[in-house]
Amino acid sequence: MHFTGIIITVITFLIIGVFHPIVIKTEYYFGTKPWWVFLVLGIICMIASVVVDNVILSTILGILGATHLWTIKELFEQEERVAKGWYPKNEKRTSNNTNK
């Protein structure tokens, strides 16, 4: 029996589940300023996925890289959700206008 598909599915599900609160907490505490961190990590994971020989690890790194890149989009959308009042705004953050 081959468990590769099941392993990748479970780990993908876990990665997505972990990144959901990461987006919320990042926007709450830092705004959208650290978007570039997700860009760098995404690129690193994508490059690593091409270099690694193991199929499962390569796939996981590719998924992790894509998730980091997708997080950039979600971070800016989270800012919009906060502006609409769907999520709490961090009043203690020094700059709530995070796009500048």
pLDDT at 97: 52
d(CA 89, CA 85) in angstroms, rounded, equals 8
| Burial classification of residue 8, based on how many CB atoms lie within 10 Å of its CB (0-12 exposed, 13-18 middle, 19 or more buried) | middle
What DSSP line would sit under 8-74, residue for residue?
HHHHHHHHHHHHHHHHHHHHHHHTTTTHHHHHHHHHHHHHHHHH---HHHHHHHHHHHHHHHHHHHH
pLDDT at 46: 98
pLDDT at 96: 55
Where do the structural domains in the chain lie, given as residue ranges?
A: 4-79
pLDDT at 93: 80
Taking only the tens of pLDDT, the chain with its 100 residues reads: 889 999 999 999 999 999 999 999 999 999 999 999 999 999 999 999 999 999 999 999 999 999 999 999 999 999 999 999 999 999 888 765 545 4
